[in-house]
Amino acid sequence: MTYFKYFLIVLMSISVFSCSSTNTVISEDNIAIETRTEIEVQTETKVETEPEESEISEAIIKASEIKDNVQTDYVTIQADSTLYITQGNFVIDHSQWNELLQKHVSDQGHVNYKGFKTDITKFNHYLKSVSETPPQESWSKERTLAYWMNVYNAYTIKLILNNYPTQSIKDIDGPWNERFIKIGEKWYTLNDVEHRIIRKMDEPRIHFTLVCAAVSCPKLYNKAFTAKNLEADLELLTKGFLSDTTKNELSESSIKISKIFKWYGGDFKKDGEDLIDFLNRYSDFEISSKAKKSYTDYNWNLNE
């Protein structure tokens, strides 16, 4: 089914509603339907793949649920499955964060904090959109997890910018306990986001995606996390972290590993497996269950 036909179906399904000048908004991952006084259909980016039939049907069903006094006549399509969510009059689009990461973070994870400062207006706009669009119970685990991972990394950058220049995040007074993250009507610390939300979602690979702005932390990924790409990104970043010899040295008989595995050891023990079992899933060789274990020194210098 072509997008032209897709537009026609959606428009036909909503044409029965009366015109209104209200600003009510409904949304799905890639579709935002927003009220306007005149009908306008806009394609924002070139679409390279056809949407699933189930997605089209779901959009039409959603449109049919709109109240009679609402005219829904503005349709936008996100082509790349970037998380695009509307709530009230505000839209969160993680592609803003993606653009900033692409511009100011190298493939090696080095952060240009001075560059972020030059884009502070765009950065603050993204943080505002995150703040005003908290996760909903209807979201999938993948969408929720991607949201909070983006929140954690973005607000870590914000913390550094608020205290820049600094040699280390540890030079900031109580960096992980500063309650400066507002999501919806609640205020959070970085510790809240990591330990009380993200770790509760039972995904140990998040430890290779969350960045504490230090050299020995996992590198800051220069792409925004999305539900669609989450599994692939978790695998990519886990393999990348474990193969980085500045952080881990693995062999069949010994492992010298990041202190992340010491601090969060319990997260890697699940379903009867232990840390060695976890490492062997990503190793090119079989690490002995009796391998000698030690930890690398942790470098807390800023990751710039």
Question: What tens digit of pLDDT does each residue of 85-131 get?
Answer: 444 444 567 999 999 999 999 999 999 999 999 999 999 999 999 99
Q: Write the CB contacts of 232 (distance below 8 Å, at least 6 apart in sequence).
A: none
Task: Identify whether residues 70 and 172 lie together within a single domain.
Answer: no
Residue 226 has what pLDDT?
96
Which residue, among 132, 130, 184, has the nearest Cα to 157 in the 3D structure? 130
| pLDDT tens per residue across span 190-201 | 999 999 999 999
Task: Identify whether residues 178 and 228 lie together within a single domain.
Answer: yes
Q: Is residue 47 part of a domain?
A: yes
Q: Is residue 300 part of a domain?
A: no
∠149-197-26 over CA atoms, to 5°?
A: 70
Task: Identify whether residues 182 and 277 lie together within a single domain.
Answer: yes
Q: Is residue 70 part of a domain?
A: yes
Q: What is the DSSP letter of 105?
A: B
pLDDT at 274 over 90: yes
Task: Identify whether residues 127 and 249 lie together within a single domain.
Answer: yes
Tell me how crowded residue 277 is: count the other CB atoms within 10 A of its CB. Answer: 15
Residue 92 has what pLDDT?
65
Which of 79, 108, 133 is the last residue in one of the domains? Answer: 79
Task: Identify whether residues 161 and 238 lie together within a single domain.
Answer: yes
Q: Is residue 204 part of a domain?
A: yes
- Residue 288 C-alpha from the chain's centroid: 35
Q: Is residue 177 part of a domain?
A: yes
Q: Is residue 88 part of a domain?
A: no
Q: Is residue 211 part of a domain?
A: yes
Which residue, among 300, 296, 217, has the nearest Cα to 262 in the 3D structure? 296
| Domain extent at residue 224 | 94-295
Task: Identify whether residues 52 and 158 lie together within a single domain.
Answer: no
Residue 276 has what pLDDT?
97
Task: Identify whether residues 119 and 198 lie together within a single domain.
Answer: yes
Task: Identify whether residues 21 and 157 lie together within a single domain.
Answer: no
Task: Identify whether residues 212 and 251 lie together within a single domain.
Answer: yes
Sign (positive or negative) of CA dihedral 73, 74, 79, 85: negative
Domain count, the chain: 2
| pLDDT tens per residue across span 227-254 | 999 999 999 999 999 999 999 999 999 9
Q: Is residue 89 part of a domain?
A: no
Q: How confident is the model at residue 270 (pLDDT cuts 50, 70, 90)?
A: confident
Task: Identify whether residues 226 and 157 lie together within a single domain.
Answer: yes
| pLDDT tens per residue across span 6-48 | 444 444 544 444 344 333 333 334 333 333 333 233 333 333 3
User: pLDDT above 90 covers what percent of the chain?
Assistant: 68
User: Stretch 274-279: mean pLDDT, rounded?
Assistant: 97
pLDDT at 53 over 50: no
Which of 48, 79, 110 is the last residue in one of the domains? Answer: 79
